[in-house]
Amino acid sequence: MKKQSRIPTKKRRVTFKLIDSWAREISLVGDFNQWDPERHPMKKGKQGRWTKTVCLTPGIYQYKFLVDGKWITDKRNPVSCTNSFGGRNSLISIDSK
């Protein structure tokens, strides 16, 4: 019986952005980091632009921003789903191409 070779799935770099001039602290949280706000703190740039680049394998992920302790969906992304708390989570789809 011939063994099937497993082709590793290539991760893709994805940059998340949020503009908030007044925020003191923002974290990117989602099912890709077990909703842990300490795993992906965002960096504040000029004019209140916060960014964080992460490497994700292809798939569909739920995420939110944690802005000074308040959960915020991604206003730039219209794709979302209902979460188990009765709120909404943003969704991002990472393709393999």
**Nearest 5°: phi and psi at 65?**
-110, 140
Distance of alpha carbon 19 from alpha carbon 86, whole angstroms: 25
Backbone angles phi and psi of 84, in degrees to 5: -70, -5
pLDDT level of residue 8 (50, 70, 90 thresholds): low
Give per-residue pLDDT as tens, 24-67.
Answer: 999 999 999 999 999 999 999 999 999 999 999 999 999 999 99
Q: What's the pTM? A: 0.88
Class of 12-94 per CATH? mainly beta
